[in-house]
Amino acid sequence: MREDYTQHSDEELLIRLRDGEQGITDHIMNKYKNLVRSKAKSMYILGADSEDLIQEGMIGLFKAIRDYDSGRDASFFTFADLCVSRQMYTAVQASRRQKHIPLNNYISLYSNVSEGRDGEEEALVNVLASGSDLNPEELVIDKENVDRLEMLIERELSSFEKQVLDLYLTGMGYQQIAKVLGRDDKSTDNALQRIKTKLRKAIKKSSAGTLDSENASHSP
């Protein structure tokens, strides 16, 4: 009769796995497959194929099982969450080397994302519009404005800031982003604040330029 592994903690089971007990890897892979699927849905916003992401996530989960060290790492859940996210994001970056697309459609702008320190969730358009004369409806109306925003991101943000924005759009807070990218919390949070400031200024400037052009075109 097969043992009921659900009665034991992940950490206990991994110790037994290191001692050579069979069946534990399959149990943990099955236990966390829904975590992988959930993360694949959030990463899909970055333009990657969902099934490919699930496969990459399962690879990340396997690596977590293989590499987990109870004396060094936090809980297995936290470690697995990090390994899955990192594996998926690495795959997304690899698939987009030839064509960088920070935002693949306007829906992503209306997704709820973590604001960081206080953990409150707010749509990115509201974050960018706050502190400016623009409201969300004026900020993003059609595909033309989305294209303009993508150009602003490509022009205004550093490589690191683009990576932070990518993961921020999947719903991650700055602390998890820092872990996925292997950076410290402070530099990641600072990058997030710079992103918001840069994009607010760039969007406001771009919108003002568009308005001036429209007024000029209607002048007698």
Does the pLDDT value for residue 85 go beyond 80? yes
Contact 134/201 with Cβ under 8 angstroms? no
**R_g of the chain, CA atoms, integer Å:** 21
- Whether residue 126 contacts residue 136, with contact meaning beta carbons closer than 8 Å, is answered with yes
The rounded distance, in Å, linking the Cα atoms of 211 and 209 is: 5
What letter does residue 97 receive in the DSSP assignment?
S
Side-chain-side CA neighbours of 146 within 13 Å: the count stands at: 14
> Which has the closest alpha carbon to 2: 20, 18, 19, 26?
26
Neighbours of 16 (CB within 10 A): 15
Q: Going along the chain, which residue ranges are E strands? A: 112-114, 121-123
pLDDT the model gives residue 62: 93
Q: Which amino acid is at 189?
A: D
Q: Give the Cα separation of 25 and 180 in Å (integer).
A: 24
Cα dist. 194→142, 153, 204, 206 in Å?
25, 12, 15, 18
Q: Is the pLDDT of residue 72 over 90?
A: no
Considering the domain delimited by 5-95, tell me its CATH architecture. Answer: Orthogonal Bundle (1.10)
Highest mean pLDDT among 44-58, 63-77, 108-122: 63-77
Residue-level pLDDT at 34:
93
Instruction: Give pLDDT tens digits for 191-206.
Output: 999 988 888 787 777 6
Q: Give 165's pLDDT tier (boundaries 50, 70, 90).
A: confident
**Residue linked to tokens 């992988």:** 36
What ranges do the domains of the chain cover? 5-95, 106-217
pLDDT of residue 133: 52
> What's the rounded Cα separation, in Å, for the pair 45 and 23?
35
Mean per-residue pLDDT of the chain: 75
